[in-house]
């Protein structure tokens, strides 16, 4: 029986050896496929081209980047997905990713590493600045983060305006960020992170990092500090990524008068430093089809009374207020992602079970707020 199996195996191997000579190498197969595509007599339509690009991008996403050629192909793929221009420089190791309003200059190393990334914004007379955040994410091959940063830079200029007007958008946003940093410097005496979050003008401020917007952490609950795995409470630090936060952005809208230079200075004439706010003038502001926006990390149920108070200050609508819901019901549905309502909230404890009922009040209508324009 064993000899019969060995004989059958030998016959099968002999057939495989006989067919080996009929197969072409991978290089020859690729060449034949390329020639067949070149000989195609009819043009490739937009749908086929889009599908081909999608397949190529999927392949690029799953190929490990270990050489300079692989890095170039991945950068080109990312640029194509975002609708950006990708151009190679004369040295073969410098490349440019650009739009009409800004460009990135990338300098690679022969080994495939990233030597430098500079960002230049249209209308700025200063020399392009090196961006450590972009260098770091490309060095660790985090192309998802690189894509997010490119999208963040491009979002600054998503305005319905001419190029010379769009140039002022970056100046407006950076001026606001500088003023917020000035206000944050007044709270440097607060050493306890808990008080820094809840009892200071701007909370914990994280500066803009490349294409990542400035972030303000304004609330951290005790539940955010719980570590359920180790069953301990983590200490609150400025670097801990927890709590509720907003990002400082700019969005297209109707025309508003926005600052184009810093407005906040510090009065140091007394023992207590206080902020001084300059009024908007024709020299420090411009009319732009945009507004500043505080984008919430996640939507928040807010009662209508508070929304109206915010809108009375900003003079800009926060969202659609035409379809409010009871506040407690909205909070319950939002936190449970629609799985619960206020008619019976069960809490399982080790030795007992609690059931809570919450009664809505018509005076506490609310809406979900995603961002606060100002």
Both tokens of 174, joined, read: 């950076």
Q: Which parts of the chain register pLDDT below 50? A: none
d(CA 11, CA 3): 12
Tell me whether residue 318 is exposed, middle or buried, using C-beta atoms within 10 angstroms of its C-beta: 0 to 12, 13 to 18, 19 or more: buried
E strands, 35-182, are: 85-88, 94-98, 102-108, 114-121, 129-130
- Dihedral through CA 84, CA 88, CA 93, CA 97, nearest 10? -20
Question: Does residue 169 sit in helix, strand or coil?
Answer: helix
Q: Are 102 and 153 in contact (CB under 8 A)?
A: yes
Pairing of strands 226-227, 264-267: unpaired
Q: What share of the chain is helix, strand, coil (3-state, %, to 5)?
A: 35, 30, 35
Residue 97: HSE in the Cβ half-sphere, 13 Å Cα cutoff = 27
Strand partners, 108: 114
Q: What is the DSSP letter of 188?
A: T
**Structural domain spans, the chain:** 44-155, 163-373
Instruction: Give the pLDDT of residue 306.
Output: 93
Q: What is the DSSP letter of 221?
A: -
Instruction: Give the pLDDT of residue 39.
Output: 66
d(CA 138, CA 147): 10
Q: Are 275 and 183 in contact (CB under 8 A)?
A: yes
Strand partners, 300: 369
Q: What count of other Cβ atoms lies within 10 Å of the Cβ of residue 180?
A: 18
Instruction: Give the pLDDT of residue 57.
Output: 72
Q: Are 159 and 286 in contact (CB under 8 A)?
A: no
Instruction: Give the pLDDT of residue 41.
Output: 57
Q: Is the dihedral of CA 315, 321, 327, 329 positive or negative?
A: negative
Residue 155 vs residues 49, 80, 147, 232: alpha-carbon distances, Å: 26, 17, 12, 40
Q: Which residue has the tokens 């035409």?
A: 322
Both tokens of 360, joined, read: 């809505």
């Amino acid at each position: 029986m064993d000899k019969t199996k060995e004989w059958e195996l030998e016959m099968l191997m002999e057939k495989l050896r006989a067919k080996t000579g009929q197969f072409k190498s991978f290089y020859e197969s690729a060449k034949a496929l390329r020639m067949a595509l070149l000989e195609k007599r009819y043009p490739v339509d937009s749908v086929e081209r889009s599908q081909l690009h999608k397949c190529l991008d999927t392949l690029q996403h799953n190929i490990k980047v270990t050489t300079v050629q692989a890095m170039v192909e991945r950068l080109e793929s990312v640029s194509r997905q975002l609708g950006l221009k990708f151009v190679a420089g004369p040295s073969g190791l410098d490349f440019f990713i650009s739009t009409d309003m800004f460009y990135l200059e990338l300098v690679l190393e022969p080994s495939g590493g990233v030597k430098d990334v500079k960002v230049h914004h249209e209308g700025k007379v200063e020399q392009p600045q090196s961006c450590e955040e972009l260098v770091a994410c490309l060095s660790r091959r985090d192309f998802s983060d690189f894509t997010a940063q490119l999208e963040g830079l491009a979002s600054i200029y998503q305005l319905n305006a001419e190029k010379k007007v769009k140039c002022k958008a970056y100046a407006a946003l950076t001026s606001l960020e500088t003023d917020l940093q000035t206000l944050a410097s007044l709270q440097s005496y607060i050493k306890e992170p808990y008080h820094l979050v809840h009892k200071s003008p701007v909370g914990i401020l994280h500066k803009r990092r490349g294409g990542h917007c400035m972030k303000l952490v304004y609330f951290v609950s005790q539940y955010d500090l719980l570590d359920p795995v180790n069953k301990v409470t983590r200490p609150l630090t400025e670097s801990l990524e927890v709590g509720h936060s907003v990002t400082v952005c700019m969005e297209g809208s109707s025309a508003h008068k926005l600052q184009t230079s810093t407005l906040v200075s510090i009065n140091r004439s007394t023992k207590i430093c206080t902020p001084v706010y300059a009024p908007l003038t024709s020299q420090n502001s411009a009319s732009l089809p945009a507004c500043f926006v505080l984008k919430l990390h996640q939507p928040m149920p807010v009662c209508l009374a508070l929304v109206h108070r915010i809108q009375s200050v900003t003079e800009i609508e926060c969202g659609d207020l035409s379809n409010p819901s009871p506040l407690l019901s909205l909070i319950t549905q939002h936190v449970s992602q629609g799985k619960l309502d206020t008619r019976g909230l069960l809490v399982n404890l080790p030795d007992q079970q609690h059931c809570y009922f919450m009664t809505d009040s018509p005076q506490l209508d609310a809406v979900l707020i995603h961002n606060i324009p100002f």
